[in-house]
């Protein structure tokens, strides 16, 4: 078999056999197929797509390209959650301890920030002492003992996806439904949880720009997960504007803590309650209404916040910071971004706000960049609110003053004003089973 023929066949729009797909995955993982052939293959898939059978074969081959985590010791209680990537998306920090407090088992491997979107592992590293890497024994031991552990993806989990994703990121081949499906589901299947809730983001800050595309992606991911014997549900949620008010690592952890303490309501809490309820439904076999009530009570009673502190402490994090978030280091520079005109905020492009936060130092421009944990943006006003010229729209935080002008420009490129009050957008479009 030759990779050249596989690329050519795909380019012609023909359906590949499972053997051809497995040949590609094996060869790309062991290095015998070079990046340029993998890039050509990915581009052919972007243009001509893949059938459901091909997508399933690619997913399974990538899942089996490295370690398969065995969570059978947790019975059917293990549950995972995956977001397709967003701005200000700190939901894992809230939903994971909430469902663990209710008896589900969260053995989670999370990712780092990518492009304009943030990653849970980076956020957790903003807590002094938090260990994002544990041995398999300690990881599983912690989940058995307290119901939750969250670490970074281990080196050998779906290594083919790891290489392919990095390649797609720099070859304009990310936004393809079969490639996203296989990328996410290969990792979720290899990571072992019995139940999986997918948060499929749609809108300006998401890879799927329309709810219709998000639904197609969600249905394919559910089908593949179910064909592997997993319980899967997907929520389609909005990413036209950032979720919550904070964008940037330590800032987002602080906002998550305020939700867990019951101090912050609004869009972030609403999405977290919906995701956590879905996880409780799947993992604990409760019906949706009961799950919603359990989740709400777990937050309101402080049970979820107590589990959060237990989890952070168990992984070496400084619990005092979680009890008094003022202890998180503050950025050297705090800058008020003020409205240049009066009016309603008509739009807040999430992708541009994510990019502005990266420019402030909260994300990486190249793989080697070190993140400034205290950098980012806090939105003082959100879409739909009225501002007078000169009112503070957002606070920008950075440790490097030179970063401010470009970041401020990018931030204001994201904002549009309107004379009339904009319609309230949809937050949760659909739940798919």
Cβ-based nearer residue to ligand URA, 66 or 85: 85
State how far the Cα of 63 lies from the Cα of 193, in Å rounded to an integer: 13
Residue from 24, 130, 165, 308 that binds ligand URA (CB under 6 A)? Answer: 165
Considering only residues 29, 37, 78, 84, which one is a binding residue for ligand URA as defined by CB under 6 A? 84
CB 147 within 8 A of CB 93: no
- Among the listed ranges 9-17, 31-39, 176-184, 254-262, the one in contact with ligand URA (CB under 6 A) is 176-184
Q: Which is nearer to ligand URA, 203 or 347 (CB)?
A: 203
Q: Are 345 and 393 in contact (CB under 8 A)?
A: yes
Assess whether 168 carries a catalytic annotation: yes
Among 59, 92, 132, 183, binds ligand URA (CB under 6 A): 183
Cα dihedral sign for 260, 263, 268, 274?
A: positive
Catalytic (active site) residue 413: no
180, 197, 280, 281: residue in contact with ligand URA (rule CB under 6 A): 180
Stretch that binds ligand URA, among 179-187, 198-206, 277-285, 362-370 (CB under 6 A): 179-187
Q: How many angstroms separate the CA atoms of 55 and 228, rounded? A: 13
- 187 annotated active-site: yes
Please give the distance of CA 164 from its chain centroid, rounded to a whole number.
18
Are 200 and 234 in contact by the 8 Å Cβ rule? The answer is yes
Q: Which residue is nearest to ligand URA (CB)?
A: 183
- Which residues of 72-194 form beta strands (DSSP E)? 79-83, 106-110, 148-152
Q: Which of 187, 188, 194, 230 is catalytic?
A: 187
Q: Which of 260, 269, 213, 203 is nearest to 237 (CA)?
A: 203
Element counts in the chain: helices (H) and strands (E): 17, 13
Query: Within 358-387, which residues bind ligand URA (CB under 6 A)?
Result: none
Q: How far is the CB of 425 from ligand URA (least distance, A)?
A: 22
Region from 19-27, 178-186, 221-229, 425-433 binding ligand URA, contact rule CB under 6 A: 178-186
Please say whether the beta carbons of 411 and 337 come within 8 A. yes
Q: Rounded to the nearest whole angstrom, what is the least distance from the CB of residue 204 to ligand URA in the complex?
A: 16
What is the SS3 assignment for 48? helix
Interatomic CA distance for residues 28 and 65, integer angstroms: 10
The verdict on whether 291 is a catalytic residue reads no
Is 84 or 249 the residue whose CB approaches ligand URA more closely?
84
Residue among 108, 116, 162, 168 flagged as catalytic: 168
**Cα angle 360-365-408, degrees, rounded to a multiple of 5:** 25
**Eight-state DSSP code of residue 75:** G
Q: Which of 10, 64, 81, 82 is catalytic?
A: 82
Q: Given the complex with ligand URA, which of 84 and 193 has the nearer CB atom?
A: 84
Structure tokens at 52: 């459901």
Shortest distance, position 182 Cβ to ligand URA, whole Å = 8
Q: How would you list the strands of the sheet with 376-379, edge to edge?
A: 246-247, 376-379, 392-398, 333-338
Phi, psi dihedrals of residue 400, rounded to the nearest 5°: -130, 105
Q: Interface with ligand URA includes 85 (CB under 6 A)?
A: yes
Stretch that binds ligand URA, among 120-128, 173-181, 249-257, 371-379 (CB under 6 A): 173-181
Q: Judge whether 131 counts as a catalytic residue.
A: no
Query: Which stretches of the chain bind ligand URA, using CB under 6 A?
Result: 84-85, 165, 174, 179-180, 183-184, 207
Instruction: Indicate which residues carry an active-site annotation.
Output: 82, 161, 168, 183, 187
């Amino acid at each position: 078999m030759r990779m050249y023929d596989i690329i050519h066949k795909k380019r012609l729009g023909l359906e590949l056999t499972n053997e051809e797909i497995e040949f590609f995955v094996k060869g790309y993982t062991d290095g015998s197929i070079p990046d340029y052939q993998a890039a050509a293959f990915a581009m052919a898939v972007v243009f001509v797509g893949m059938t459901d059978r091909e997508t399933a074969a690619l997913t399974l081959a990538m899942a089996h390209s490295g370690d398969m985590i065995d969570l059978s010791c947790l019975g059917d209680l293990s549950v995972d959650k995956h977001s397709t990537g967003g701005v200000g998306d700190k939901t894992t920090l809230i939903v994971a301890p909430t469902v663990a407090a209710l008896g589900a088992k969260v053995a989670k491997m999370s990712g780092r920030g990518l492009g304009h979107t943030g990653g849970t592992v980076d956020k957790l590293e903003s807590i002094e002492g938090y260990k994002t890497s544990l041995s398999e024994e300690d990881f599983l031991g912690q989940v058995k003992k307290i119901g939750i552990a969250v670490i970074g993806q281990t080196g050998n989990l779906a290594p083919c996806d790891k290489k392919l994703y990095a390649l797609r990121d720099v070859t304009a081949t990310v936004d393809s439904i079969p490639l996203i499906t296989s990328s996410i589901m290969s990792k979720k299947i290899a990571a072992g949880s019995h139940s999986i809730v997918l948060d499929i983001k749609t809108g300006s800050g998401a890879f799927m720009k329309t709810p219709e595309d998000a639904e197609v992606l969600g249905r394919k991911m559910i089908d593949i997960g179910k064909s592997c014997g997993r319980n899967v549900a997907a929520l389609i949620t909005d990413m036209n504007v950032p979720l919550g008010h904070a964008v940037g690592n330590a800032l987002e952890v602080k906002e998550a803590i305020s939700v867990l303490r019951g101090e912050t309501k609004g869009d972030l809490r609403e999405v977290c309650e919906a995701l956590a309820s879905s996880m409780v439904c799947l993992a604990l076999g409760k019906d949706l209404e009961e799950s919603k009530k359990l989740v709400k009570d777990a937050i309101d009673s402080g049970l979820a916040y107590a589990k959060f502190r237990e989890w952070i402490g168990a992984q070496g994090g400084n619990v005092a910071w979680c009890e008094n978030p003022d202890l998180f280091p503050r950025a050297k520079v705090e800058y008020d971004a003020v409205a240049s005109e009066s009016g309603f905020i008509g739009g807040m492009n999430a992708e541009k706000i994510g990019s502005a936060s990266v420019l402030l130092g909260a994300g990486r421009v190249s793989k080697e960049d070190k993140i400034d944990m205290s950098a980012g943006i806090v939105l003082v006003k959100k879409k739909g609110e009225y501002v007078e010229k000169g009112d503070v729209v957002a606070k920008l935080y950075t440790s490097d003053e030179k970063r401010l002008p470009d970041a401020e420009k990018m931030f204001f490129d994201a904002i549009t004003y309107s004379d009339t009050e904009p319609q309230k957008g949809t937050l949760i479009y659909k739940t798919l089973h």
